[in-house]
Structure 1
Amino acid sequence: MEQRELRRAVEAGRATALGLGLQVDEVTVVHNSDRVALRLAPCDVLARVAPSAHLADSEFEVEVAHHLTEVAAPVAELDPRVQPRVHVRNAFAISLWTYYEPLESEIAPADYADVFIRHHAALRRIDLNAPHFTDRIAAALREVNDQERSPELPDADRELLGNTLSGLSAAIGIAKTRDQLLHGEPHPGNLLNTRRGPLFVDLATACRGPVEFDLAHAPEEVGEHYAGVDQGLIHRCRALNWAMFSAWRWRRDDQMPDRDHCRAEGLNQVRAALDRCEPS
């Protein structure tokens, strides 16, 4: 979020927690993109604040968290002191979560794969109406194909992203026999290393697809520790993931900080991932 919008989001998160009887003397911005995460102290709450246009996504995330907590999935939990729901204040959707102090040590690839296996097993145990990953790709493709939505995207790069999104989506989405409920975007930024062990956050991206789609968000070494997966499919999914990331960054109304760098980096990563997909 831009600074003016960020200040409004911080105030909405603080006021919501105060209104629910939680003590808030200090607010720290933990993460800032198109939505923000705030640490509220001393009540030790993580407030996730999104523009109200994303209310449905925030409500879906709370629903996912509720179901996964019931089956002891390795996920961050909603704050138990308040009702598990999304609050709307000053054109923002706010949900309140338990704050987990992150550990400084990195998560080893084998441990990353282990938490993936446990999380995927938990996801198979819940009943949830979630979109297929190809629906998300179709949404990204609409941004790429609409010059009014992405006016600064150069023609050559528009063709690259369009061909990648449409071609790989069609090829991967044909066989759905291995599909299951997924996290959707389990990259390292969405896996916290805590005293309780690694915990997934940002659950609004839950979707259906092959487990390789999730694994493609993690460092490459992680997939080597997850038995029975298709390494070639992971490479193709990684190209798709970077193409989606790039599509969002070229949106006219994208608010990702350092957007120019992200745009260039995203396109470079798409090309590198496509090179890995080519037959030897």
Structure 2
Amino acid sequence: MSSKEFDRPALTARAVAAAVSVASTYGIRVNDPHVLADAYSVRVHLKPAPIVARIATLTPIVRSPIESWLARELSVAEFLAAKGAPVVPPSDLLPPVPHHFDGLAMTFWRYFEPVSDALPAPATVGRMQAELHAVLRDYPGDLPPLPALSDIPRGIDRLNQLGNMLPESDLTLLQTTYDRLLAQLSNPVGLWQPLHGDAHALNLIPTAKGLLWNDFEDTCTGSIAWDLINLDGEGIAAYPNAPDLATLEPYRQMRKLHAIVWVYAMLPELPDWRESAKALLDDLRGAEAVNAIDLLLSSNSPPLVPPC
């Protein structure tokens, strides 16, 4: 899909129409579909029904088959809801499975009206992560490793196929950074267990029932460090026996690399994000240059300038 042939408003309209069509097959009346979010997927409140449809529009570019990601998300959310965890559950008005229409895959969720625009306090997020992890440890299903470990290689493959998004030096930088960080993550920090995968304050919805976890598409298995990297010091302090900030650093770096590769791989479809992607890549270039200098200075290699 090239940027010339990509029409984002048309894709959004197609996604909304597909969700309304699927809902109608289950007798659900939709008079006023309202788009809540439109980035890598489209989220639409199927008003007046208490349902949010999440239609995978761009995520299948990197995540294929997308149905496996959506099915895991539904399974984990159903499990957590059954355990009484504070989560947005799948809608009970349609079967809790990935649905298909007009070439698009989608899932349906119970709608909760947000009661505030304020983000929860970092300590609240840290405490809720600990509580969520305690319930997730009993999840019986199979989960893949961290999403970055599949998204980054697939994203780099797409950049290589596109051919004109980045110079060869930057493609090499992305690959070598990934290889370096992968080696650092080979000995996991802390408990290896099921994770939310993208646990941060923006994925907590403030509702009349309290804060509810949302968006489990990245659910995975791995070190708790992966879920903790979105917390600041106050949030980490609220998580019992959390690793220290220095220990979390390789996970933070992998997450930043994940964002860079993901955004660049999507630039043909999201060209407005080019400046943000460039800023992220500039930061990576600077960080890797510092890493290279530190490695050189700490090695036993001969000095760069011969002694006089």
TM-score tier, shorter chain, comes to 0.7 to 0.9
Q: How many residues are paired up?
A: 278
Tell me what 1:76 maps to. 88
In the alignment, which of 183, 197, 201 is matched to residue 196 of structure 2? 183
Matched, 1:46 2:52: yes
Cα pair 2:126 2:239 within 8 Å, conserved: yes
Structure 1 range deviating more: 107-116 or 27-36:
27-36
Task: Give the deviation of 1:6 after TM superposition.
Answer: 1.1
Q: CA offsets per residue over residues 183-234 of structure 1, 9 Å max, x none? A: 1112333222222222221212111111111111345542232232222232
Task: Give the deviation of 1:158 after TM superposition.
Answer: 2.6
Cα pair 1:26 1:40 within 8 Å, conserved: yes
Matched, 1:124 2:108: no
- From the superposition, tell whether residues 197 and 173 of structure 1 become closer, same or farther in structure 2 (CA, over 3 Å): farther
Cα pair 1:12 1:90 within 8 Å, conserved: yes
Cα pair 2:51 2:91 within 8 Å, conserved: yes
In the alignment, which of 232, 239, 248 is matched to residue 246 of structure 2? 232
- From the superposition, tell whether residues 22 and 150 of structure 1 become closer, same or farther in structure 2 (CA, over 3 Å): farther
Counterpart residue identity of residue 197, structure 1: G
TM-score scaled by length of structure 1: 0.87
TM-score scaled by length of structure 2: 0.80
- From the superposition, tell whether residues 252 and 215 of structure 1 become closer, same or farther in structure 2 (CA, over 3 Å): closer
Matched, 1:165 2:178: yes
Percent identical pairs in the alignment equals 25
Tell me what 1:241 maps to. 255
Matched, 1:26 2:32: yes
Tell me what 1:63 maps to. 75
Q: 2 CA distance for matches of 1:109 and 1:99?
A: 25
Task: Give the deviation of 1:136 after TM superposition.
Answer: 3.4
Task: Give the deviation of 1:164 after TM superposition.
Answer: 2.4
Tell me what 2:303 maps to. none
Q: Secondary structure at the match of 2:45?
A: strand
Counterpart residue identity of residue 105, structure 1: A
Q: Which has the larger radius of gyration?
A: 2
Cα pair 1:47 1:94 within 8 Å, conserved: yes
Structure 1 range deviating more: 56-65 or 111-120:
56-65
Q: 1 CA distance for matches of 2:19 and 2:217?
A: 18
- From the superposition, tell whether residues 26 and 276 of structure 1 become closer, same or farther in structure 2 (CA, over 3 Å): farther
Cα pair 2:125 2:201 within 8 Å, conserved: no
Tell me what 2:167 maps to. 154
Cα pair 1:161 1:243 within 8 Å, conserved: yes
Counterpart residue identity of residue 141, structure 2: L
Task: Give the deviation of 1:272 after TM superposition.
Answer: 8.1
Tell me what 1:201 maps to. 214
Q: 1 CA distance for matches of 2:250 and 2:72?
A: 28
Structure 1 range deviating more: 184-193 or 269-278:
269-278
Q: Secondary structure at the match of 1:186?
A: coil
Q: 2 CA distance for matches of 1:173 and 1:224?
A: 25
Q: 2 CA distance for matches of 1:275 and 1:122?
A: 41
In the alignment, which of 11, 15, 32 is matched to residue 5 of structure 1? 11
Q: 1 CA distance for matches of 2:188 and 2:137?
A: 18
Q: Secondary structure at the match of 1:205?
A: coil
Cα pair 1:191 1:199 within 8 Å, conserved: yes
Tell me what 2:304 maps to. none
Q: What CA RMSD, in Å, does the superposition of the two structures yield over aligned residues? A: 2.8
Counterpart residue identity of residue 124, structure 2: D
Task: Give the deviation of 1:170 after TM superposition.
Answer: 1.5
- From the superposition, tell whether residues 49 and 150 of structure 1 become closer, same or farther in structure 2 (CA, over 3 Å): farther
